[in-house]
Structure 1
């Protein structure tokens, strides 16, 4: 355990450093956008005195470095400032939206992770068979199709023609769990189609790579059935790459929901981000981008730590 803690500590420091660099990029990218925020809020007919007063109220008369460090300190404490569009707390607006995004991502993960591992094991077990080739072809189609295209296809078949599910996922805070599941099914399936394809192919590749190992050959020579060879010998040793790809795809489920949420008008962080860009509500845009970046970095850390804990060779590289 003593060798694990320094490695985990290094990954955590790298994660914090990466998040700091990303926060710099987010703030200065928004800062570099053309136009005066105060002027755009008040309109072209506003007097210069009114614009100056609003700039002072919003803190825009301070230097960019001062505003960045004030924003960063507030973000660390969970305070992202006040929205320019409605003067409400940014944190209060994002919190319920982020809960909706997490629910959608969790729903998609419950569908995709078991299905991907199951299909990956089966395609490795029946490698080069018709089932393997058909599954790989379908996974390539799923990976190559943009999420918004898959979403519109699902809407056309399951919402417009068969009317099994609603085309708009308008969930609310007081909605029953069953109703929420019903309204979130189409966006969850849209995300799961892409993620399942990635994880299935990675699981298949990891297991096929291990099947060429000497201890697998020895197990087969002893007459161990093919299914037992995979489930008891190959799959446990393939945990490190599988954990890695699952964690990275879970990060994608949360950070890659923007297009899916827009297509299904789902009230998550992605929809809030698009609306805020349209309104030039920069504090909300910065907060959403930072939350997405922090979530992605966190899942990358989980993937690294999971790989270290599940693979002794990573704990003892020498």
Structure 2
């Protein structure tokens, strides 16, 4: 009565999986290429001058022209794009205009910092969201269901900068339970880092709680009304056994895709939170690069997020198909 593919697949099953992975990989590469075109064009077509942005408004125009020539930003855009893509596919992300250092050094550190914040928020929101959705489904139509639904919807529509400012005022300024900055001293241990990351993680939890809880609630209600659930009850299984063995596994399948896409949001959609809490992550790095017209840094940051999104969605589809035998990789029933 529970869903699950057999542990071993025949030759046709393995071939279907290979075709599925190949198709999704090609689509992901096409998406990344289109993203590279958009971010490159968007960055270079915006008004402004790289040399002027770096040297300041009072710099001599001759010095600005020399700097633009040294960085190659005075070349045709197609030539610049071709050189950047040639380096990108070989792992060379280029040199930062603002810092005159390899982009990879800054990108790796920023991704690691954002991953730490994302892990804290993920560890909080996933169990809370699933638990809230399960409770709402088990008590649908009752006060508990209404309270959780209203709270989830309300928290979802509140922007991160609003909830973040309120959290800073309440827990950082008035109560002084948490630091208002997410930046810790060099050499800080894991517990100290966690202490600094709890407060900035809460706005992300509030935003994502409603999405995960709603999907878990909908899946639970559908599973509770399914024939296999009624059959399990008629066979004499207790209600907790029915919920644990038969309902939960099937009910949480739609939630997998939501969690996967929101995982990328936790890493890439942190601009407001990272700036608000003075945290040096990928969101803050992209914002600073855009402000300084540091195109290599901006393009590498956006492409890194795009690659993470493509990878996590592919893994989510594979996991969904692994758990649900009604899904076939080849598109056949």
Distance (Å, rounded) in 2 between the aligned partners of 1:135 and 1:36: 50
Give the C-alpha shift of residue 99 in structure 1: 0.6
Q: Is 1:56 aligned with 2:69?
A: yes
TM-score (norm 2): 0.89
- Mark the CA change 1:157 to 1:234 in structure 2 (over 3 Å): closer, same or farther: same
Instruction: Write the deviation string for residues 222-246 of structure 1: whole angstroms up to 9, x where unpaired.
Output: 3433332222112222343121111
Q: Which moved more, 1:177-186 or 1:306-315?
A: 306-315
Deviations 1:215-273 (A, max 9, x none): 21222333433332222112222343121111111111111111111111111111122
In structure 1, what is the Cα distance between the partners aligned to 2:269 and 2:59? 40
- Secondary structure of the 2:36 match is helix
Note if 1:200 corresponds to 2:213.
Answer: yes
State how far apart, in whole Å, the 1-side matches of 2:146 and 2:239 are. 19
- 1:46 and 2:76 are equivalent in the alignment: no
Q: Is the CA contact (8 Å cut-off) linking 1:171 and 1:266 kept in structure 2?
A: no
Q: Does 1:159 align with 2:172?
A: yes
In 1, are the aligned partners of 2:155 and 2:207 still within 8 Å (CA)? yes
Computed over aligned residues only, the root mean square deviation of the Cα atoms, in angstroms, reads 1.9
Out of 183, 202, 214, which is 2:227 matched to? 214
Kept after mapping to 1: 8 A contact 2:43/2:290: no
Gaps of 5+ in 1: none
Following superposition, the deviation at residue 75 of structure 1 comes to 2.2
Distance 1:237 1:82 in 2: 49
1:62, distance to aligned residue in structure 2 (A): 3.0
- Asked if 1:249 is matched to 2:262, the reply is yes
SS in structure 2 of the partner of residue 313 of structure 1: coil
Question: Secondary structure at the residue paired with 1:80?
Answer: coil
Give CA-to-partner distance per residue, 1:59-116, whole Å, 9 cap, x none: 2243222211221232233322112222122111221121100000011111111221
| Alpha-carbon distance in structure 2 between the residues aligned to 1:23 and 1:282 | 12
User: What SS does structure 2 have at the residue aligned with 1:84?
Assistant: coil
Superposed displacement of residue 52, structure 1: 4.2
Give the number of aligned pairs: 317
Other-structure match for 1:275: 288
> What does residue 36 of structure 2 align with?
23
User: Runs of 5+ in structure 2 lacking a partner?
Assistant: 1-12
